[in-house]
Structure 1
Amino acid sequence: MPSIRPPAVAGSFYPRDPAVLSAEVAAFLADAAPAHGPAPKAIIAPHAGYQYSGAIAASVYARLSPLRGRIRRVVLAGPAHRVYVRGVALPDVEAFDSPLGSVPIDRAAAASVLALPFVESSTRAHALEHSLEVHVPFLQRVLGTFSLLPLVVGDASIDEMAQLLEVVWGGPETLVVVSSDLSHYHPYDEARVIDRATVEQILRLDPCLVPETACGAAPINGLIEVARRRALDVELVDLRNSGDTAGGRDRVVGYAALAFHERGHA
Structure 2
Amino acid sequence: MARPPALAGRFYAGDAAQLAHDVDAALAQATVVQAPAADTPPKVLVLPHAGHVYSGGMAAQGYALLRPHLQRIRKIVILGPTHRMSVQGVALPGVGSFATPLGSVEVDSLAAHAVADLPFVVSLPQAHAQEHCLEVHLPFIQRLWAGQDMPRVLPLLVGAVSPEDVARLLARIWGGDDTLILISTDLSHFHPYEQARQMDLATCAQVLALGVGLNHQQACGATPLNAALLQARTRGLQVQQLGYCNSGDTAGNTPEGRQRVVGYASFALYEHAAPSAANGLDAQAGAQLVQLARHGLHRATAAEPVPAPEVVALSAPGASFVTLTQAGQLRGCIGSLQAHRALHDDVLANAQAAALQDPRFAPVTAQEAPTLAVEVSVLTAPEPLPFANESHALWQLQPHVHGVIFSCEHQGRAYRSTFLPQVWAQLPDPRKFMAQLKRKAGLPADHWSDAVRLSVYRVQKFTEADHAA
- Tell me whether the two structures share a fold, i.e. TM-score over 0.5: yes
2:239 corresponds to which residue? 234
Task: Tell me: higher relative CO, structure 1 or 2? Use CA pairs within 8 A at least 6 residues apart.
Answer: 1
Aligned letter for 1:262? E
| Structure 2 match to 1:260 | 269
Please list every run of 5 or more consecutive structure 1 residues that lacks an aligned counterpart in the other structure.
Answer: none
Equivalent position of 2:143 in the other structure: 141
Structure 2: give runs of 5+ residues left out of the alignment. Answer: 276-469
Q: Does 1:184 align with 2:193?
A: no
CA distance in structure 1 between the partners assigned to 2:131 and 2:238 by the alignment: 30
- Summarize the Cα distance change of 1:29–1:265 in structure 2 as closer, same or farther, 3 Å threshold: farther
8 A contact 2:79–2:158 mirrored in 1? yes
Q: Per the alignment, in what secondary structure is the counterpart of residue 226 of structure 2?
A: helix
Distance 1:171 1:241 in 2: 33
TM-score, length of structure 1 as denominator length: 0.97
Name the SS for the 1:40 alignment partner. coil
**Partner of 1:6 in structure 2?**
4
Aligned residue for 1:212? Answer: 217
Q: How does 1:18-97 map to 2 (within 5 A)?
A: 18-34=16-32, 36-37=34-35, 38-97=40-99
Tell me by how many angstroms 1:105 deviates: 1.1
- Deviation track 1:28-56 (CA, whole Å, cap 9, x = no partner) reads 01001136324211100000011110110
Distance 1:221 1:195, change over 3 A: same
Distance 1:40 1:5 in 2: 28
Structure 1 residues 199 and 35: alpha-carbon distance in aligned structure 2, compared to 1, 3 A threshold: closer
Contact 1:181 1:254 in 2 (8 A): yes
Rg bigger for which structure? Answer: 2
Distance 1:193 1:21 in 2: 33
What's the CA shift string for 1:193-250, capped at 9, x where partnerless?
0000111111111110111110000100000000011000011001100011111211
Equivalent position SS for 2:134:
helix
Is the counterpart of residue 249 in structure 1 residue 258 in structure 2? yes
Q: Look up the equivalent residue of 1:71 and give its one-letter code.
A: I
Identity, % of aligned positions = 50
Call closer, same or farther: CA 1:252–1:221 in 2, change over 3 Å. same
1:34–1:204 distance in 2 versus 1, CA, 3 Å: closer
Aligned match of 2:168 in 163, 168, 171?
163
Deviation, structure 1 residue 143: 3.5
Give the conservation status (yes or no) of the 8 Å contact 1:237–1:258: yes
How far apart, in 1, do the equivalents of 2:193 and 2:274 lie?
38
How far apart, in 2, do the equivalents of 1:173 and 1:165 lie? 15
Cα pair 1:158 1:207 within 8 Å, conserved: no
State the Cα distance separating 1:95 from its structure 2 match: 0.8
Match of 2:416 in 1: none
Equivalences, count = 264
User: SS state of the match for residue 167, structure 2?
Assistant: helix
1:97–1:206 CA distance, 2 compared to 1 (3 A): same
